[in-house]
Amino acid sequence: MPEKFDVIVVGAGPAGTSCALVCAQKGLNVLLIERGEYPGSKNVMGGVLYRKQMEELIPEFWKEAPLERPVIEQRFWMMDKESVVQFGYKGLEWGVEPYNNFTVLRAQFDQWFAKKAVEAGALLINETVVTECIVENGKVVGIRTDRPNGEVYADVVVLADGVNSLLSKQLGFHKEFRPDEVALTVMEVINLPKEKINDRFNLEDNQGCTIEIFGDSTKGNLGTAFLYTNKDSLNIGVGTTLSSMIKAKLKPYDLLDYLKTHPMVKPMLAGGESAEYLAHLIPEGGYRSVPKVAGNGVVVVGDAAQLVNAIHREGSNMAMHSGLLAAETVIEAKYRGDFSESSLNLYRQKLYDSFIIKDLEKYKDATHTFENNPQYFKEYVPMMNKAMSKFFTVDGTPKRDKQKEIMKSVTSERGTIKVIQDIYRAWKAVK
């Protein structure tokens, strides 16, 4: 192993591997360090991987990557105890090139992706924990690992160590996160024959469906559940912010059990066999939680920089794109021979000019608005269900009278002024 690398990347998730791949493609001497037995062995994701940002790194990756199904349908469920109001979009154009997104199993996908970085020239070392950054004269000059004599040096260290990012916390880039800035999600992979999946979700072999479930899936608390189709398994999961969990005294595994036995969900899982059970945090603080992302000799990417758009469940694509932007910055810094904070701050500028910070900024008040106003999930979802039930039940009542009754019950349950305030507040949070 050479004494000094151009770049050390900590963490072989989507953010770190993207950065390592691009740097190695440009001939930089790259070390990629992963604490897991192999890349993906410790990684958890609902499973939707976005084509656009991945294709920027590996054109036509779908021809060889281990993908599950291209997603052709996205459904949204507003679920009550024994009913669901649903909407969504199904389009066959998403089932053919160039595709929109795919379901993936991270244990397989991350391994394949990291292999691409290795083929480009990066050195991957697994089963090695980076314990701290080595700082000399206010500059990060390398890392210390849990291996004997495990000190390695580089011009730049890229922190891609995921949501907890103990390393950027050690550098003072961010504080301990508040419970309302992170969500705890538990999920299960359930094996089910592909014929059953196709029948139950109205799909063909190479077509996938995603369902995001709000309302009773989290017992009315801020959060979401998901049910995604793989080739011959389903990913089902549920999560809420830690603060909601504490407030409502929820236990994540109880919530998942509740979801799996819900009458709207249970038939879709029937006959399936649990293959894996996973739990992970998701950074949900958004725009206001993004920490310092560049310092002397160091940049922070992906979940470690809190780059997740929880409203659109986009995280892997933000991780990949931030990895790409960091790589471009490092390559330019190498050319200038300047790895100071002011030089690496170009990464921050690129990030703020990209869709990543623009999208996080758009939804900067969303999580807190919905957390502080529990009526959206607790009251409106059941109201929508009752309204739909009433409207579609054929009982001889004239339709105009039904509409009046529905409006009356909504405004009497919540009050006209409050309803108007709620609509305005929700619109402001997502506009």
Looking at the Cβ atoms of 25 and 168, the one nearer to ligand FAD is 168
Residue 165 CB-density burial (10 A; 0-12 exposed, 13-18 middle, 19+ buried): buried
Bridge partners of residue 158, in order along the sequence: 9, 299
Q: How many helices (H) and strands (E) does the chain have?
A: 16, 17
14 or 291: whose CB is closer to ligand FAD? Answer: 14
Pick one of 28, 42, 102, 155: the residue that binds ligand FAD (CB under 6 A): 42
Q: Does 14 bind ligand FAD (CB under 6 A)?
A: yes
First to last CA, the chain: 52
* Alpha carbon of residue 88 to chain centroid: 20
Identified binder of ligand FAD from the candidate list 44, 140, 360, 383, rule CB under 6 A:
44
Cis (ω within 30 of 0) for the bond into 398?
no
Binding mask 319-358 for ligand FAD (x = CB under 6 A): x---------------------------------------
Instruction: Specify which residues 49 forms β-bridges with.
Output: 102
Structure tokens at 347: 């990464």
Query: What does the alpha-carbon distance between residue 314 and residue 307 come to, in Å, rounded to a whole number?
Result: 9
Nearest CA among 215, 211, 183 for reference residue 375: 215
Of 70-78, 154-162, 387-395, 418-426, the segment contacting ligand FAD by CB under 6 A is 154-162
Give the amino acid at 134. Answer: I
Q: Does 233 bind ligand FAD (CB under 6 A)?
A: no
Near ligand FAD in 162-191, by CB under 6 A: 162, 185, 187
In one-letter notation, the amino acid at residue 415 is G
From the list 73, 155, 180, 314, which residue makes contact with ligand FAD (rule: CB under 6 A)? 314
Question: Could you tell me if residue 236 is left (phi over 0), alpha (psi between -120 and 50 degrees) or otherwise beta?
Answer: beta
Q: How far is the CB of 38 from ligand FAD (least distance, A)?
A: 9
Residue 89 CB burial class (10 angstroms; 0-12, 13-18, ≥19): exposed
CB nearer ligand FAD, residue 279 or residue 388: 279
Q: Which stretch binds ligand FAD (CB under 6 A): 37-45, 257-265, 331-339, 420-428?
A: 37-45
Confirm or reject binding of residue 218 to ligand FAD (CB under 6 A).
no
What DSSP line would sit under 414-431, residue for residue?
Answer: H-HHHHHHHHHHHHHHH-
CB of 220 to ligand FAD, least distance (A): 20
Site string for ligand FAD, 107-146 (x = CB under 6 A): ----------------------xx----------------
Question: Rule CB under 6 A: is residue 160 a binding residue for ligand FAD?
Answer: yes
Stretch that binds ligand FAD, among 68-76, 248-256, 312-320, 334-342 (CB under 6 A): 312-320
Of 306 and 385, CB closest to ligand FAD: 306
Q: Are 142 and 152 in contact (CB under 8 A)?
A: yes
CB within 8 Å of 366: residues ≥ 6 apart: 286, 310, 311, 429, 430
For ligand FAD, the closer CB: 276 or 413? 276
The minimum distance between CB 153 and ligand FAD, in angstroms, equals 16
> Any contact of residue 285 with ligand FAD (CB under 6 A)?
no
Binding stretches for ligand FAD (CB under 6 A): 10-16, 33-36, 42-48, 129-130, 160-162, 185, 187, 237, 280, 282, 302-304, 308, 313-317, 319
